[in-house]
Structure 1
Amino acid sequence: MRLRLVPKETSFDFFSRWKMWLGLSALLMVVGFASFAIQGLNFGIDFRGGTTIRTESTQPVDVGTYRGAIEPLGLGDVSITEVFDPTFDEDEYVTMIRIQAQEGAESVTAEMVENVHAALKSVEPDIKFVSVESVGPKVSGELVQTAVLAVALAIGAVLVYIWLRFEWQFALGAVAALVHDVILTIGVFSELQIKFDLAIIAALLTIVGYSLNDTVVVFDRVRENLRKYKKKDLKEVLNLSINETLSRTVMTSVTTLLALISLYVLGGDVIRGFVFAMIWGVIVGTYSSVFVASTILLWLGVKRDWTKPSNTSGNQFANIDA
């Protein structure tokens, strides 16, 4: 007996309450914008500037012990990451300690570095500071601009790709879903004040790719069914296409979430923000593929006079049972 996450054949009407779904999305986007405008993002060291210290010791690293030793110094946001490299000796243990820029200074002062060194020596006597590097506010500002540009270019490339592969109505629907996903992700980070660093930018770009993949699968089936059922109303074709790909969509999302939840629980603080962004992105990406991208396509309409059949229409994984 095979386990199914959804029945083999479904006939849900995904557009019976399309105004409610679009209204919910619009409300969440407004809340995200308002939170961003009022309290902004809790930028990490990558975007605020600070000091990075590379340490070496001959004893295994205990990140919790290191953090406990530094915490009484009151340095604000401190990130401690153990570095792994196959070229290291057996008794060579390396960490990267990143300390946010202190108020009124571009970087941590030499005196404060000495205090950190002394604090860590109290728990690890043979620890050495191999290098100390500072990132000022100017460099951090450039990182913010580069990150925004990277996300904007990714969405722009998606617009062109979908436009060339399908029609402009499909392209606008897909991009609307991607913008929706990015805004809601940034909004939840602003609302919860979770640390926002370069890893979250990587998560945003991954979310864009995941959401696009889901949307293209649905749109491919829509295009195929538009040719197959030329007399059916567009709403019926969209409902049929989403139902036909629903099994694949649910299975992909659930299996991805299982892996991400495991990482969130067991992965530790270093990757928790990144994994949280991915979990949220998978949820809103799946939602937007069905209730945002397809609804925008229904609202815009699409031509029905294709005369040449597509050899690449449909998707070989669309009917996989979940």
Structure 2
Amino acid sequence: MSDLKIINFMSLRKIAGALSMALVLGALASLAINQLQFGLDFTGGTLIEVGYEQAPNLVNVRVQLQDAGFDDAVVQNFGSEKEVLVRLGQTFNDKVGQQVLSALQSSATSSVELRRSEYVGAQVGEELTEQGGLGMLLALGIVMIYVALRFQIKFSVGAVVALIHDVLIVLGIFSIFKLDFDLTVLAAILAVIGYSLNDTIVVSDRIRENFRKMRKGTTIEVINESLTQTLGRTLVTSITTLLVLLALLIFGGELIHGFALALMIGVLVGTYSSIYVAVNVLLLLGITKEDLIVPPKEEVIEGEGFEEGEGFEQDLEADLGRP
């Protein structure tokens, strides 16, 4: 590692901490004021599927529905370019499907056929909302226990704070820009938790290893070297993941647009948080080499004991990687 140029990541830790605090507070403020724009999966509403003889322009379809008084209509392709799914708010009656069909037929250049018209109950949405929130809380609790057992309690706190940071920022962006929040976005947030946790564990593992191996150096120097060693792996993983998500965002269609966007934001924020949020928390909690030293065995063979303190010093040297 002597040829590796160490990057001083921690020189920006105060700026990064202030930035993270501002982003989280902004996200919380937006969630309190604007809240989330829940989709039909959570609020209930009407689903109408129509089939065109020729592939329509979705922008024109939206304009037609708005002119007919359906201002909250969400239009997207479903299955093929000739199949269009229209999602409306909670208003529903037996004639709404025919009203939408009539509005589309009035300006269509080809024949339009009503395939189905059904209602998604709000009670289902309430259950999904509750179960989704409990799922995220359960995931965070399991993560905290796992990291505490795998590493140390300070690493556990850092990992959970980083995950909460990532989730709040993704939710805040969807709230600020009033983007539709549905089950695909919830799935993306759960995926963000897994991605961010994986990145944080890789960094934590290298920090723990270097705390035990490096003979000299302050806590910040050990962390900087650990982050430098994992930087290549972090960049390769993040860039390849972002390329796949970018392809999904552009070519995947409106049905998974929210999923791809939420996961892209989560990957970017998760990569940042594994370097600055989780590690910043470690420094605030005062992580030291002594926190990661394996307790020495107190086994003394009769007649072959050490001088006072000698056994502990030998175990300490072994834990720190000394010959």
Aligned to 1:18: 13
Contact 2:47-2:86 within 8 A present in 1 as well: yes
1:97 aligns with 2:82: no
Contact 1:47-1:144 within 8 A present in 2 as well: yes
1:29 aligns with 2:24: yes
Shift of 1:168: 1.3
- Separation in structure 2 between the aligned mates of residue 298 and residue 292 of structure 1, nearest angstrom: 10
1:276 aligns with 2:265: no
- Separation in structure 2 between the aligned mates of residue 304 and residue 216 of structure 1, nearest angstrom: 15
Aligned to 1:149: 134
- Separation in structure 2 between the aligned mates of residue 304 and residue 233 of structure 1, nearest angstrom: 14
Aligned to 1:229: 214
Which residue identity is paired with 2:220?
Answer: K
Q: SS of the residue aligned with 2:86?
A: strand
What TM-score results when the alignment is normalised by the length of structure 2? Answer: 0.80
2:294 maps to which of 282, 306, 322? 306
- Separation in structure 2 between the aligned mates of residue 160 and residue 16 of structure 1, nearest angstrom: 31
Aligned to 2:275: 290
- Would you identify which runs of 4 or more consecutive aligned residues in structure 1 move more than 6 Å? none
How many aligned residue pairs are there?
Answer: 291
1:170 maps to which of 118, 143, 155? 155
Q: SS of the residue aligned with 1:132?
A: strand
Contact 1:76-1:100 within 8 A present in 2 as well: no
Which residue identity is paired with 2:151?
Answer: F
- Separation in structure 2 between the aligned mates of residue 160 and residue 13 of structure 1, nearest angstrom: 31
Contact 1:207-1:282 within 8 A present in 2 as well: yes
1:45-66 alpha-carbon deviations (Å, 9 max, x no partner) = 2222211123456655654454
Gaps of 5+ in 1: 1-7, 86-91, 102-106, 310-322
Comparing 287-296 and 252-261, the one that deviates more: 252-261
Shift of 1:270: 3.3
Identity of aligned residues (%): 39
Q: CA RMSD in A?
A: 2.6
Aligned to 1:139: 124
- Separation in structure 1 between the aligned mates of residue 144 and residue 292 of structure 2, nearest angstrom: 21
- Separation in structure 1 between the aligned mates of residue 178 and residue 136 of structure 2, nearest angstrom: 21
- Separation in structure 1 between the aligned mates of residue 221 and residue 9 of structure 2, nearest angstrom: 10
Aligned to 1:119: 103
Gaps of 5+ in 2: 297-314, 316-323
Aligned to 2:49: 54
Contact 2:152-2:292 within 8 A present in 1 as well: no
Shift of 1:125: 6.2
Shift of 1:253: 1.5
Q: SS of the residue aligned with 1:133?
A: strand
Which residue identity is paired with 1:137?
Answer: A
Comparing 19-28 and 207-216, the one that deviates more: 19-28
Shift of 1:36: 1.2
What TM-score results when the alignment is normalised by the length of structure 1? Answer: 0.80
Contact 1:10-1:244 within 8 A present in 2 as well: no
1:108 aligns with 2:92: yes
Shift of 1:141: 2.3
Aligned to 1:314: none
Q: SS of the residue aligned with 1:12?
A: coil
Which residue identity is paired with 1:109?
Answer: N
1:129-178 alpha-carbon deviations (Å, 9 max, x no partner) = 34322123333222222221222222222112212211111111111100
Contact 1:159-1:175 within 8 A present in 2 as well: yes
- Separation in structure 1 between the aligned mates of residue 112 and residue 141 of structure 2, nearest angstrom: 48
1:160 aligns with 2:145: yes
Contact 2:163-2:193 within 8 A present in 1 as well: yes
- Separation in structure 2 between the aligned mates of residue 166 and residue 178 of structure 1, nearest angstrom: 17
- Separation in structure 1 between the aligned mates of residue 250 and residue 149 of structure 2, nearest angstrom: 41
Comparing 180-189 and 141-150, the one that deviates more: 141-150
Aligned to 2:74: 79
1:96-148 alpha-carbon deviations (Å, 9 max, x no partner) = 322111xxxxx322233221122234427654434322123333222222221
